[in-house]
Amino acid sequence: MIKIEDVAKLAEVSSSTVSRALTRPDMVAPSTRERVIRAAHQLGYQPNKLARGLRKQQSHLLGLMVTDILAPFHATLAKGVQDAAEKHGYVVFLFNTDEQPEKEERYLKELQSHLPEGLLIVPTSKTRQNLGIVGNLTVIELDRTSGTPGVHSVLVDNVTGARGAVEHLIKLGHRRIGMVAGPHSVTTALERLEGYKQALLSAGLQVQEELIATGDHKEEGGYRATQTLLSLPPKLRPTALFVGNSEMAAGAVLAVRDLHLNIPNQLSLISFDDTRWARLMQPALSVVAQPAYDLGYIACETLISLLKRDKPVPTTTLRLNTELIIRQSTAPR
């Protein structure tokens, strides 16, 4: 690897001049500057970021932890983060916690040892404890919150989104509306449940606990929860289902199929989170779409702007709006 001294020799200046010419061009005479730049280019010089980071005590590195990189929502979000980071010359370390606090802990330690300047994280159930590892690093939570004080967050307006979905069902004439909810440990699941309840109550409908089944945000859990709800006696069985996320929606679709119910004639189905298959399946699934890319992009921009301030900024929470996309899986009662 070619280093600053090699450039210095070729340009016939000292290494500090090279450093200056390359990083603070206005501190060096135009003629020398050009000579240095030419030399650097000629040698294909790439600054050693390890050395630079060690010296400046900053790495231009951001950490990103998601809970499931295989889910399109997270993959898209990660892309948003990376695009924003790149725009500002940051590089991002991507980790996949798989919802496992132990992995999160391990990865936070790993990340910490690379002197990151900031962290974007989709919290797990133990994030609040784990964040101790990274000291007073600037942290932004994405999608969900861990309740850690002093941590900024960029979220989706889950309550309003869920509420919109359920109001849509109510408008179609449905009265027994079931919900396949996510785990109580996840704030998004709670908020979506809250939106569901709000919609019912403000339409003068009762919240019936037997119409709410809890899954694990995975396909399998969605399948089981849906089966539970749909095996209620015909009179009590929901005529419409609101599913808390897309993974569970996949399970729900399979469960409905196994029960030989027709969507949307015998059952209306709507889910939180859009995916390609929701659009491709027949009938195409109505959904509450989340701005996944924007979420990542904006969160990253926010983080970087936070890093540029010298004073600590009061904790902020940003909520992005969802979009109700009505396709063919929801129909009048």
* Interaction site with its own copies (CB under 8 A): 1, 44, 46-51, 53-54, 59, 69-70, 72, 75-76, 78-79, 82, 91, 93-96, 109-110, 112-115, 133, 135, 250, 253-254, 257, 275-277, 280-282
Contact between 40 and DNA by CB under 7 A: the answer reads no
Using the rule CB under 7 A, give the single segment among 2-10, 239-247, 292-300, 301-309 that binds DNA: 2-10
Strand partners, 240: 177, 268
Which of 172, 269 has the CB closer to its own copies?
269
Closest CA to 101 of 120, 122, 124, 119: 124
Structure tokens at 112: 């910490």
Residue 11 C-beta: closest distance to DNA, Å: 9
Q: Are 198 and 159 in contact (CB under 8 A)?
A: yes
Q: Are 294 and 80 in contact (CB under 8 A)?
A: yes
Which of 229, 253 has the CB closer to its own copies?
253
d(CA 254, CA 1) in angstroms, rounded, equals 55
Residues numbered 7-36 forming contacts with DNA, rule: CB under 7 A: 12-17, 19-20, 22-24, 27-29, 31-33
d(CA 236, CA 230) in angstroms, rounded, equals 9
Structure tokens at 43: 């040698």
Residue 113 C-beta: closest distance to DNA, Å: 8
Closest CA to 77 of 155, 161, 138, 146: 155
Find which of its own copies, DNA, none residue 29 binds, CB within 5 to 8 Å per kind. Answer: DNA
Residues numbered 49-88 forming contacts with DNA, rule: CB under 7 A: 51-52, 54-57
Question: φ, ψ for residue 156 (rounded to 5)?
Answer: -105, 145
CA distances from 275 to 21, 55, 286, 318 (A): 49, 45, 11, 23
Q: Are 118 and 138 in contact (CB under 8 A)?
A: yes
Using the rule CB under 7 A, give the single segment among 48-56, 88-96, 154-162, 186-194 that binds DNA: 48-56
Q: What is the DSSP letter of 205?
A: P
Which of 280, 309 has the CB closer to its own copies?
280
Which of 195, 251 has the CB closer to its own copies?
251
Find which of DNA, its own copies, none residue 254 binds, CB within 5 to 8 Å per kind. Answer: its own copies
Residue 170 C-beta: closest distance to its own copies, Å: 27
Find which of DNA, its own copies, none residue 79 binds, CB within 5 to 8 Å per kind. Answer: its own copies
Bridging pattern class, strands 177-181 and 240-243: parallel
Residue 7 falls in which region: left (phi positive, over 0), alpha (psi -120 to 50) or beta: alpha
Residue 39 C-beta: closest distance to DNA, Å: 12
Which residues of this chain interact with DNA, rule CB under 7 A?
1, 3-5, 12-17, 19-20, 22-24, 27-29, 31-33, 47-48, 51-52, 54-57
